[in-house]
């Protein structure tokens, strides 16, 4: 019998097992746009970011999906202040990755559902997602959940002289 997928809050003990998934996500982002070049210090950055998210739950939500003790998905959400607008808080999904062999298994939707539960407890009613604009898989996933485009961010690499 297969072990059940469990979604829970990330703890400090989960950081090492989650770093690889964050790095996989960042490398995947680079496949969608050359502006996303993974740096040599990306592993340390991922460790530091996960530690900060776990240590500071007022400003972050860090969740993982696991089966049989193996991490198969991670989700990091930043809690942002919305200057000028109501409601005053927004949750932004900045890192969301499911191992390829577990995609289309429902694990992603389980992570989303758990994040919604946490946001309702915190009385945060706006959630947004950040991902490369060429990532059509992510775009379709979020649209299927009722998300819509609300802002555009455009970038350009300035050439060195």
Determine the pLDDT at residue 104. Answer: 87
Which comes out higher in pLDDT, residue 161 or 125? Answer: 125
Measured on CA atoms in the order 53, 19, 5, 91, is the torsion positive or negative? Answer: positive
What structural domains does the chain harbor?
6-144 (3.40.630.30)
Query: Residue 79 pairs with which residues in a beta bridge?
Result: 91
pLDDT higher than 60, residue 60:
yes
Determine the pLDDT at residue 1. Answer: 52
Number of H helices, E strands in the chain: 4, 5
Determine the pLDDT at residue 10. Answer: 97
């Amino acid at each position: 019998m297969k072990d059940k997928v469990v979604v829970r809050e990330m703890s400090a003990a989960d950081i090492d097992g989650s770093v690889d998934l964050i790095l996989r996500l960042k490398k995947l982002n680079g496949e969608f746009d050359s502006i996303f070049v993974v740096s040599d210090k990306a592993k340390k950055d991922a460790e530091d970011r996960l530690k900060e998210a776990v240590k500071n739950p007022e400003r972050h939500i860090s969740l993982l999906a696991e089966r049989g003790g193996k991490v198969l998905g991670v989700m990091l959400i930043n809690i942002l202040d919305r200057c000028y607008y109501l409601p005053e808080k927004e949750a932004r999904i900045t890192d969301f990755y499911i191992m390829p062999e577990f995609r289309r298994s429902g694990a992603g939707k389980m992570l989303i559902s758990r994040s919604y539960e946490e946001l309702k407890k915190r009385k945060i009613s706006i959630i947004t997602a950040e991902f490369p604009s060429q990532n059509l898989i992510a775009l379709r996933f979020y649209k299927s959940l009722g998300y819509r485009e609300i802002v555009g961010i455009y970038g350009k690499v300035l050439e060195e002289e």
